[in-house]
Structure 1
Amino acid sequence: MADRDPDVIKQEIDAARDQLAATVDSLAIRANPQRLADDIKAGIMNFVKKPAVAASLAGLGLVTVVLVIRKARS
């Protein structure tokens, strides 16, 4: 085993510890359930706001209202 300076080894260990702590913090932020839910919600809202999707949903809503009214009248 090569003779290594203990101070250099300590610095390397400290740097590795800091890097590991940063990685763990990053993973904790990415796995936060509230953040995941917010990201999913934002993605859905962006999808629904597209003109084609909005028009399709409006048409589906209109058909549903017409069917409910017809069912209530008969």
Structure 2
Amino acid sequence: MASDPDTIERDIQEARDALAATLDTLAERAGPRRMAEDGMDVVQSRLSDPRVKYPLIGVGVLVVLLLVRRLFR
């Protein structure tokens, strides 16, 4: 156990620095911009899957055809 005041003070400062670094890392991970970017990455990867992509294209074409049909009725 360190009883020297300088050693204790140095240990406290090292602990503060480590805590500050940890808080900075957590703030970066939990930031809204980071979360939005991660969400966009997930959506883009899901939409690039052919099992999702082609049915969505089909639904889009169907909606457009129904709208065109309704407009010219």
Q: Normalised by the size of structure 1, how large is the TM-score?
A: 0.84
State the partner residue of 1:40.
Answer: 39
* CA–CA distance in structure 2, aligned partners of residues 20 and 33 of structure 1: 22
Unaligned runs of 5+ in 1: none
Structure 1 outlier segments of 4+, above 2 Å: none
Q: Secondary structure at the match of 1:45?
A: helix
Identity of aligned residues (%): 40
1:58–1:3 Cα change, 3 Å: closer
Unaligned runs of 5+ in 2: none
Q: Normalised by the size of structure 2, how large is the TM-score?
A: 0.85
Q: CA deviation at 1:10?
A: 1.4
- The answer to whether 1:55 aligns with 2:54 is yes
RMSD: 1.7
Aligned length: 73
